[in-house]
Structure 1
């Protein structure tokens, strides 16, 4: 297979060298593709030393893309710039091209991670794309003037020459310190109390509070691509994503939640809210499912999300329908209530309108949206950054975004995982604290493949092993 890959690389390289002799085509973006045999995209990304790694995979695994570098980017500084960004992207798209990107939960400066900013949309220098039709290697060139044309061709040639195609993967091991929670258990109880005061006063119907679990990297190196590969195997039918900052930090995850999927004028979204753990056997799991379906607190939480999304979509849809009853989504360690929503968009409705109406949903923010978001910005004691934000792809025919939950941040010497819980009337601080554990149970259990967690005697979260047993 390696020989076939090298043959296709040589052909693409020769095509680009021939393009050096041609004039700029006068269009903003030119995409060139070359067929490739199917390869493991996670192994390919793990092998690369080039900057700007990115990955996206939709929930049905119909479209997977692994990218290197950024030939064009738009850094979104605040929410008001999203429409301008999307207009610029749309002017560069053709039927075969899609643009990758992400946005943070909030554009409040105190909530943003400086390395990533509020958001960014970009076209990779080179990317490997896999669909149901096969695999291809693609590159993006800027063709609006001679200088950009020549410079982008040279950049692609450099990336193709420096990319690693051994596809050997890596075998890494690391030692992680004991997780440090922000907020800690005591502060969490205080936050829940303040949130419930808001609910009781009528100012809030729901607010989603969250927590980070930060672990220092004591020895070795954590391989995020191996972790992400096993993460998506553990939770199939989830979105898979990864975005690397210019400084080398990587935000990545495996999310079950769709923000929206638009195919032509048809939009699909969902209310995903209400959670319980998985059972230790089939009988217990079924009992927990029935309890979730009939639990007034969880059903109420889901209904709040559903009604908010339905109300917002009514203004831009000519036809709108949603499930008559809840279904249950089962992941490795938890299960969620879900209701699907489908609509036909009115003529002229844009992806930026859809995103501005839906993001952030009450599933990660709360209701009323503005009040809940202000509460989070005022009272959470760490910066969410990209956690509970959104990421995905923009295209002419199809655009799709997920809610960036079940996610992690890998920095040079730290690994952090995030989780949140919806607080409504009847919420209990201890139960919600355990829900936070359950939601990070999968990723911590997967760390056993390549990491040891120090201080296994800790009764709360001594190791990934302890936590996965609690969540089972």
Structure 2
């Protein structure tokens, strides 16, 4: 049975248990650390006058000076932090605590979840942050506690848009008693709000003590051989093989400081973090699933991969190969054809450049083709999600047959890796494919990478690509 659950407000208990950074003064205000002091005081004075409105979202935000969202989150209590930053780098939302949590236990409940999120927002200038699993099922093993889908509306948010920063709060209650409880907790959380402004502290003490590869080269070669056999027999034309590497660390990572460095080395990528208790899923994915604004949808075809060159000359040579190699062209064309066919029922017009571009990251580069389409009236996010996810770039083609083979062959549970991550705003939403990501749990980092297998794939080249795709995160840890 499908269901969407909505959890009550949940601020980490440490928010109301004496977290250092601010203290209440005799007048009931709060002495906070600049530069957020004025904003916090303004929010407090106005929140105190809020009145109960059943199931109506109360939202308020005020301008603040430029504030680093990564370091702000690193200084916040752990357990309920969240972050989303778009690929252009001009919009981000960082959240502390949870005003509303929506979850679904299977993909059949996605439409209700997305509809409920839009109903709650009701035009307010805030956003849900969350995502969907790869397989449309709840997580197990290391992904325990992650449902098939989960979106959170932060209790306290730091938002950046068009160069402007705002500190905001959200509150939703179904009864007068709940309203008073949540209002009290929100005030306590604001009074203890603090901003981390120091540079990367004690970073050098974190290092890898053990590495466990869930798939070695020989096993990878056997899997690729099996996939190629299926491809030669039809109808499968592409299957994405995923690999997991477990890193044991001497101590827990400062997650958001690490994410900041990771994103800095992958400019032009999305950036996200979703914390669920002791587990935190974060990454810097390059690929947009879709971005919808009104009647316009932006998506893309991104596939075919080679490494970056050590010199400008070598990099240009590899880029030429990326554009000319028949195997890479074929792999990218499968994705392009798939995206266009999948969105065709939902659009009235489609546009896109004729020439393929190159999307470069620090260690690898991809073939890239943006696609812009005009939607038919009434098309919803869940319809676009069902049409596009999972893409051939993370699953294969045809989708059903490729997914069945993945389920039979892969031993490591993907969870939310190669799922979807993004944000939902009024009249707008944006989702990325959750690759180039890692799951943190205490002293452990689970790293994932995937590679597309098509006719002509060479096991050694594919193995090197799998390794290259996690090198950027390894480099952050080892720097």
**TM-score, normalized by length of structure 1?**
0.91
2:274 match: 243
- Secondary structure in 2 matching 1:289: helix
Per-residue deviation, residues 44-72 of structure 1 (Å, max 9, x unmatched): 11112243011100001121111011111
Matched-pair contact (CA < 8 Å) for 1:47–1:168: no
Q: For 2:451 and 2:227, how far apart are their aligned partners in 1? A: 12
- Secondary structure in 2 matching 1:177: strand
Matched-pair contact (CA < 8 Å) for 2:132–2:420: yes
Q: For 1:325 and 1:202, how far apart are their aligned partners in 2? A: 30
Matched, 1:230 2:258: no
Q: For 1:165 and 1:341, how far apart are their aligned partners in 2? A: 39
Paired residues for 1:321-360 under 5 Å: 321-360=351-390
Give the drift of 1:11: 1.8
Matched-pair contact (CA < 8 Å) for 2:90–2:163: no
Matched-pair contact (CA < 8 Å) for 2:75–2:194: yes
Paired residues for 1:393-408 under 5 Å: 393-408=423-438
Q: For 2:163 and 2:310, how far apart are their aligned partners in 1? A: 39
Matched-pair contact (CA < 8 Å) for 1:27–1:142: yes
Q: For 1:133 and 1:149, how far apart are their aligned partners in 2? A: 33
Matched-pair contact (CA < 8 Å) for 2:289–2:420: yes
1:261 match: 291
Displacement over 6 Å in runs of 4+: none
1:305 match: 335
2:215 match: 183
Per-residue deviation, residues 206-261 of structure 1 (Å, max 9, x unmatched): 000010111112x2332221211111111111100001112x11110001100001
Give the drift of 1:413: 2.3
Give the drift of 1:160: 1.2
Q: For 1:414 and 1:143, how far apart are their aligned partners in 2? A: 37
Matched-pair contact (CA < 8 Å) for 2:307–2:468: yes
Query: Which of these residues, 417, 427, 430, is aligned with residue 447 of structure 2?
Result: 417
2:97 match: 69
Matched, 1:99 2:99: no
Residue correspondences, number: 444
Per-residue deviation, residues 117-170 of structure 1 (Å, max 9, x unmatched): 222012011111011141111111115542332232122112212333353353
Query: Which of these residues, 141, 160, 170, is aligned with residue 130 of structure 1?
Result: 160
**TM-score, normalized by length of structure 2?**
0.89
2:23 match: none
Paired residues for 1:113-152 under 5 Å: 113-152=143-182
1:42 match: 70
Matched-pair contact (CA < 8 Å) for 1:30–1:143: no
Query: Which of these residues, 110, 114, 131, is aligned with residue 86 of structure 1?
Result: 114
What do you get for the CA RMSD once the two structures are aligned? 1.7
Q: 1:223 to 1:167 in 2, by over 3 A?
A: same
- Secondary structure in 1 matching 2:66: coil
Query: Which of these residues, 199, 215, 219, is aligned with residue 247 of structure 2?
Result: 215
- Secondary structure in 2 matching 1:222: coil
Q: For 2:476 and 2:34, how far apart are their aligned partners in 1? A: 34
Could you list the runs of 5+ residues in structure 2 that have no partner in the other structure?
1-31
